Structure 1
């Protein structure tokens, strides 16, 4: 099995080391094509107005001067040659990608780009309270078996699988749960105003809020309860109930 590893935290990210360990437990044909620099929050952006360049580190390890989606496109269509990967793994992200995160996450975007290119794709993320105290041993201990189980079960070609590991030691993981995308009710993005050394004003995004009380069956609840959350995601964004009501209201003739 040929596996392509990518991410949004950049080619030198600690989580990419964990992802490679997971991939190498599954195959000896592992490639890495990741953004040169961190691209968190890039969502599905593509670089259209600037040239893309790649840097090669060894036979199967590259970085791309663009977004996670750029890295996957370059990896599949240019860098890996005529043989496409059989599987794309994206992550392991330093921080959870749950609920609303999925619409802005570069980690998940890389998986969606792989799916769009016809390659089964899985996004993996690690929940943590502090960025520099992530428990990388947890995805390293459980990740390969999770991927094996997913490959055995299979999933539709228009779906990506979003895996989130809880913030606990490997032996404390409370199980695995297939979940639905949740919704935060106690979370807010804000822009903090700061001043540089030349007197200019700039802004830096941050988050406020606390843990909500999400319902059973959601990705948030599973991770809060110490479980590995597995959520099938797809790009069909049409809201069917609104489609029906608007059709009834507007298409009268």
Structure 2
């Protein structure tokens, strides 16, 4: 198998290295990643400046652009003749749960690959391996990377992804110190939780007003049950007059110790919304 990997934490991030080392045991791996961190840039493309490449001693290619830039440039120029089986992004330092996928550069890079017909998986380590020393952090990423390899080898998930055009598989892995602490895998829907404090006003060293944006979520216990139901599940309930069990949300699954696998569909216009808006006198 041939893999193209990238991330939004930068080419030197421990999650990227762990992912590269693990995937190299089952296939050929190419790395094209941002020179510096680009968290929160979604699928932004640098169309108003030129991009430059720099090959590191490791063989990784670093780019002065966004994660989406890396995938776009790799697929259409750097490796345009390479038939990649899958693009895998991450392992992100921290969760990409629920509405975070709208802002995540890790998810945005995977989305870019899927737009051009390449199966794509976005991966994140919930907690980011930041509970202990640098050595402990690396071991947590290795556990997560090994779980990604197991997912590809032990299941037919990659074949299914190839048969699901315009879908990205969003994977969140609990941050644990022992593999036995992971209870298994769950197919989940995207959750939705309120942001605790979206903007933090502050004064910069020159006395100017400044603002720091945040995606940190409010504790789930402070929300009404209806506010923490996945948006996708709600949409399905609105569209179909039938009863079925709403799957676990991604944040619920991770909180219970499971790896969350959320299929996220792109270019989706709900038929119920079309019907509703078409009835308007426009």
Give the aligned partner of residue 212 of structure 1. 220
Larger proportion of strand: 1
Give the aligned partner of residue 165 of structure 1. 173
3-state DSSP of counterpart to 2:252: helix
Give the aligned partner of residue 151 of structure 1. 158
Distance of aligned partners of 1:250 and 1:104 in 2 relative to their CA distance in 1, 3 Å threshold: same
CA distance in 2, matches of 1:222, 1:130: 18
Give yes or no for contact 1:164–1:229 (8 Å, CA) kept in 2. Answer: yes
Give the aligned partner of residue 45 of structure 1. 44
Q: Report the CA distance between 1:53 and its aligned residue.
A: 0.9
Give the aligned partner of residue 243 of structure 1. 274
CA distance in 1, matches of 2:149, 2:91: 12
Give yes or no for contact 1:30–1:60 (8 Å, CA) kept in 2. Answer: no
Q: Report the CA distance between 1:168 and its aligned residue.
A: 2.4
- 1:234 equivalent in alignment to 2:265: yes
CA distance in 2, matches of 1:236, 1:2: 26
Give the aligned partner of residue 138 of structure 1. 143
- Equivalenced residue count is 249
For structure 1, the 5+ residue unaligned runs are none
Give the aligned partner of residue 14 of structure 1. 14
Q: Report the CA distance between 1:142 and its aligned residue.
A: 1.2
Length-normalised TM-score, structure 2: 0.81
For structure 2, the 5+ residue unaligned runs are 222-227, 230-246
Q: Which moved more, 1:166-175 or 1:104-113?
A: 166-175
Give the aligned partner of residue 234 of structure 2. none
Give the aligned partner of residue 65 of structure 1. 64
Give yes or no for contact 1:186–1:211 (8 Å, CA) kept in 2. Answer: no
Length-normalised TM-score, structure 1: 0.89
CA distance in 1, matches of 2:141, 2:58: 26
RMSD: 2.2
Q: Which moved more, 1:135-144 or 1:94-103?
A: 135-144
Give yes or no for contact 1:165–1:223 (8 Å, CA) kept in 2. Answer: yes
3-state DSSP of counterpart to 2:90: strand
